[in-house]
Amino acid sequence: MKPIETVIKQTDMKNLGLVRCNLGFLLILILILILILILILLPAVSWAEDTTPRRNAAAQTAAVSYSNLYVKVQLDGKLKPAALKAGDVVPGTLSRSVFWRDQELFPAGSSVRLIVDKLERRKRAPNDHWPWVIKAFTPRHEKYPTFQSAQVLLADGSEVSLRVSLVSIGQEIELQAAPRKGRVGQHPEKSATADNFSVPPSTSPRKYGKKPKPLAASPTANFEAVVVKAEELPPGPHSPSASSGETVTVAAGTHAKVILLDSVSASKSRPGDSFKARLVEPVYAGHTLVLPEGTVFEGKVTKRVGPRTLSRSGSLLLSFIAVTSPSGTIEPIAASIAGIQLNPRSHTRVDPEGQLKGDRPGKAWMLMNLGVTGGISKEVDDGTQLLIEAIVSSATDVSTAGTARIAGACASGLFMLTRHGRDVVLPKFTEMDIMFDRPVSLFGIQPMPTESSMMDQ
Of these ranges, 204-218, 230-244, 354-368, the one predicted with the greatest mean pLDDT is 354-368
Higher pLDDT, 151 or 187: 151
27/144 Cα distance (integer angstroms): 70
pLDDT of residue 326: 63
Enter the pTM of the model: 0.70
Task: Give the residue ranges of DSSP H helices in 51-122.
Answer: 54-62
Residue 70: is its pLDDT beyond 80?
yes
Nearest residue to 261 (alpha-carbon basis) of 99, 429, 431: 429
Residue 291 and residue 401 in contact, taking contact as beta carbons nearer than 8 Å? no
Query: Residue 22: what pLDDT?
Result: 61
Is it the case that residue 321 has pLDDT exceeding 90?
Answer: yes
At 221, phi and psi to the nearest 5? -110, 130
Q: What is the mean pLDDT of residues 158-174?
A: 89
Residue 68: is its pLDDT beyond 60? yes
pLDDT tens for each residue of 130-154: 666 666 667 777 788 889 999 999 8
Q: Which CATH number fits domain 62-361+422-456: 1.10.10.10, 1.20.140.10, 2.40.128.260, 3.90.230.10?
A: 2.40.128.260
Q: Are 226 and 421 within 8 A, CB to CB?
A: no
Secondary structure of 166-207 in HEC code, one letter for each residue:
EEEEECCEEEECCCCCCCCCCCHHHHCCCCCCCCCCCCCCCC
CA nearest to 360, candidates 411, 427, 301, 314: 314
Render pLDDT for 371-397 as a digit per residue (tens, 0 to 9): 777 777 777 877 887 887 778 777 776
Q: How far apart are CA 410 and CA 414, in angstroms?
A: 6
Task: Of 430, 25, 413, give the one whose Cα is nearest residue 222.
Answer: 430
